[in-house]
C-alpha cells in the first residue's frame, strides 16, 4: 500500500441526504444499468456516499457488493443501512482508492460503479483501477450530472465531464465497448454509460 496524502476528489462532498435522494429513482437507475437479470458475480462501488445506489444494486447482485468511501461517516451510514435492511451481501470499506487503489484482486469483479465522481483530479487512474479489477466481459456503469441542461446540483461546469469526455477516458483506460444508457426516466439530470472490459 502506498501511503500518500488524502486524495479525496475535488467537489465530492455530499449535501443533505434527503435532498440528494430526491434527484434519483435509484432502483430504476440500477435496473437500467444491469437489466432484469441483475449481476451474477461481485460488484464494487467507487465512492458509495450515503449508499443511495449500494442497496439497490445489492438487491440485484448474487455476489458481494464492495462499497468504498474515504469518509468514515459515509462508511458507517452504509454499514448501518445494510444491517437494518438485512442485506448480507454488502461489504463496506474505508478506503482512499485514488491514493491506494481498491485492494481488490485483478479480474475479480463482474460489475463496477462510478457515479457522480468522474470530475475528480485523476479520472483515468480511477478508470484504470476499475479496468484492472473487472473480469474480461465485466461491465462498468458510469453516471454523472449533465452539463447541457441546468441541474440543481453537481460540480462546477468547468470540471464536469461530458459523455464524450468520459468515453475518451474509458477508451484510454482500456475499455473496449461503450454504450449510452438513457437515464431520462430515472434521473433526468444525469447521463449514463456502460463500458465493457
Residue ranges that bind ligand SAM, judged by CB under 6 A: 7-9, 12, 14, 47-49, 52-53, 68-71, 74, 95-98, 115-117
Three cell numbers written together for 36? 432484469
The residue among 98 and 127 lying less far from ligand SAM, judged by its C-beta, is 98
Query: Residue 136 CB, nearest distance to ligand SAM (Å)?
Result: 25
Query: Residue 42 CB, nearest distance to ligand SAM (Å)?
Result: 18
Contacts within 8 Å (CB) and 24+ apart, 102-106 = 102/44, 102/46, 102/66, 102/68, 102/129, 102/133, 103/1, 104/44, 104/66, 104/133, 105/133, 106/132, 106/133
The span from the CA of 156 to the CA of 82, in Å, is 32
Query: Residue 171 CB, nearest distance to ligand SAM (Å)?
Result: 22
Q: How many residues does the chain have?
A: 197
The residue among 97 and 169 lying less far from ligand SAM, judged by its C-beta, is 97
- Measured in whole angstroms, the distance separating CA 180 from the mean position of its chain's CA atoms is 16
Three cell numbers written together for 37? 437479470
The residue among 42 and 69 lying less far from ligand SAM, judged by its C-beta, is 69
Query: Residue 166 CB, nearest distance to ligand SAM (Å)?
Result: 15
The residue among 10 and 176 lying less far from ligand SAM, judged by its C-beta, is 10
The residue among 52 and 186 lying less far from ligand SAM, judged by its C-beta, is 52
Query: Residue 35 CB, nearest distance to ligand SAM (Å)?
Result: 20
Amino acid at each position: 500500500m502506498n501511503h500518500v496524502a488524502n486524495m479525496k476528489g475535488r467537489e465530492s462532498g455530499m449535501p443533505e441526504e434527503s435532498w440528494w435522494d430526491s434527484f434519483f429513482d435509484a432502483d430504476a437507475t440500477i435496473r437500467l444499468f444491469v437489466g432484469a437479470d441483475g449481476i451474477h458475480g461481485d460488484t464494487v462501488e467507487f465512492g458509495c456516499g450515503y449508499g443511495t445506489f449500494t442497496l439497490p444494486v445489492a438487491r440485484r447482485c448474487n455476489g458481494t457488493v464492495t462499497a468504498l468511501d474515504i469518509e468514515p461517516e459515509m462508511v458507517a451510514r452504509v454499514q448501518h443501512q445494510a444491517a437494518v435492511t438485512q442485506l448480507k451481501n454488502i461489504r463496506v470499506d474505508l478506503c482512499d482508492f485514488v491514493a491506494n487503489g481498491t485492494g481488490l484482486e485483478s479480474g475479480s469483479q463482474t460489475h463496477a460503479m462510478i457515479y457522480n465522481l468522474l470530475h475528480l483530479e485523476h479520472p483515468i487512474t480511477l478508470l484504470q483501477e476499475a479496468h484492472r479489477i473487472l473480469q474480461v466481459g465485466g461491465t462498468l456503469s458510469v453516471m454523472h450530472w449533465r452539463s447541457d441542461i441546468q441541474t440543481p446540483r453537481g460540480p462546477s461546469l468547468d470540471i464536469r465531464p461530458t459523455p464524450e469526455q468520459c468515453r475518451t477516458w474509458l477508451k484510454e483506460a482500456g475499455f473496449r465497448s461503450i454504450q449510452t444508457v438513457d437515464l431520462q426516466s430515472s434521473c433526468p439530470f444525469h447521463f449514463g454509460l456502460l463500458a465493457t472490459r
